[in-house]
Chains A and B, each alone.
Chain A
Amino acid sequence: MEFRETQAIYLQIGDYVCEQILLDRWNEGDRIPSVRELGVDLQVNPNTVMRTYDFLQSNEIIYNKRGVGYFVSEDAKTKIISYRKKQFLDQELPLFFKNLRILGMDFKEIAKLYELFIAK
């Protein structure tokens, strides 16, 4: 896994886990790799993966069965999508708006492009 430049690694691992769930590679109710297994797979310190799992657990995307392992929560997908939406609105959209202003672009221009995009 190639880590991006600026986001904390434990959050990037979180994105990786969420992606596996959204792509149905890990299904709701399934057991996911242990902290150590994922650490080895991604070549990262298991303590970092532990932080990711704590974070995902507090967001109710995964849950822990003591002594058994971590599992994907029943409504994990809905939770991920609402979390992603919040991330998009808080972080990506302001950047997008900033670029619009710098480039002096009109919102109508964007609306037209968006319609074309949807039509495809």
Chain B
Amino acid sequence: MVNVQNVTFSYTKKTELLNNLSLNLKAGHIHGLLGKNGEGKSTLLKLISGLVFPKAGTIDTLGFNPVNRYPEMMREIFFLPEELPQLNLSIGNYEKVYSPFYPNFNAEQFDNYLKEFDVDNKKSMLNKLSHGQKKKVFVAFGLAANTKLLLMDEPTNGLDIPSKGQFRRMVASAIDENRCMVISTHQVHDMDSLIDSIIVMEHHEIAFNQSIEEITKKLFFRVAERNEKHENVLYSDDSLRGLYQVCVNTTGEESKLDIELLFNAIIINKEKILKLF
């Protein structure tokens, strides 16, 4: 669906933001894109959707080179940026102006999503809405656009507590084997039941890209008592409840993936973890 090969990118001449980065995304999955601030997650999403151009390397998005921005590609991509555009339009007029670009846009679906999110007045002006309300409108629009590729940069930032569950419900109903979603986020606890594949960016490249099934087959996540010994501990974090640990999975028994723990483990003990895959 998306194939990034050896891409290098920089905003300034001196420092390279992305260096020889490669990534392959498959349809039917919800990919979680994780990485510290400034790693280039948003830039990667922009490269895939043709908003910025690579300095070297090639990108294939839905069979197109995104640099050309062919309409056949653009109408199958929706990119939800973290910073939403300032538009002097009502919700209804935004829909009227932008939905024709997306041939599979479903107006009824859009209305249902807005209703679920408690955004009831489509006459409201977008630039008068609070950040959270505005985010809901764009999330609803992005899901209702039914594009093959949906890229979301921090979609749950600013959403109130009930909206996070509604967001998960909507995404669960929207994913199918022909669609591919990428969710870039720091709010890992909002996402851990939704994401089925994890991409970690570190040092401006892809450090890790695995399905959750593969991860839980190779790694074991557990809460251990402090005096408990385990030879295969890869990462350990002390907490009130005990030691949160990532271990080598030696029994084949699968545990619940803790994304935060996995991320920290990859940052601290990358070599050992990568060797397992």
A interface, CB within 8 angstroms of B: 3-12, 36, 39-48, 51
Contacts and interface: CB of A to CB of B under 8 A. Distances in A.
Given A7-B255, A8-B216, A48 B169 contact: no
Given A40-B169, A45-B194, A9 B175 contact: no
Contacts of A51: 213
A20 B114 CA distance: 32
Given A3-B256, A47-B196, A48-B193, 9 more contacts: A6-B221, A6-B256, A7-B255, A12-B256, A43-B172, A43-B193, A44-B168, A46-B172, A51-B213
CB-based closest 9 A-B pairs: A43-B168, A8-B254, A39-B172, A44-B193, A40-B173, A45-B196, A47-B196, A40-B172, A40-B169
Interface residues of B, number: 23
Contacts of A11: 254
A46 B216 contact: no
13 contacts: A4-B256, A6-B255, A7-B255, A8-B254, A8-B255, A8-B256, A9-B193, A43-B169, A44-B172, A45-B175, A45-B195, A47-B175, A51-B213
Contacts of A9: 193, 256-257
B158 interface: no
B273 interface: no
A7 B220 CA distance: 10
Nearest to B255: A6
Contacts of B87: none
Contacts of A42: 193
Contact of B28 (A4, A40, A44, A47): A47
Nearest to A13: B193
B222 interface: yes
Contacts of B73: none
Nearest to A91: B253
Contacts of A44: 168, 172, 193-194
A119 B222 CA distance: 37
Among B172, B194, B256: residue with most chain A CB under 10 A: B172
A71 B213 CA distance: 25
A45 B170 CA distance: 10
Contacts of A12: 256
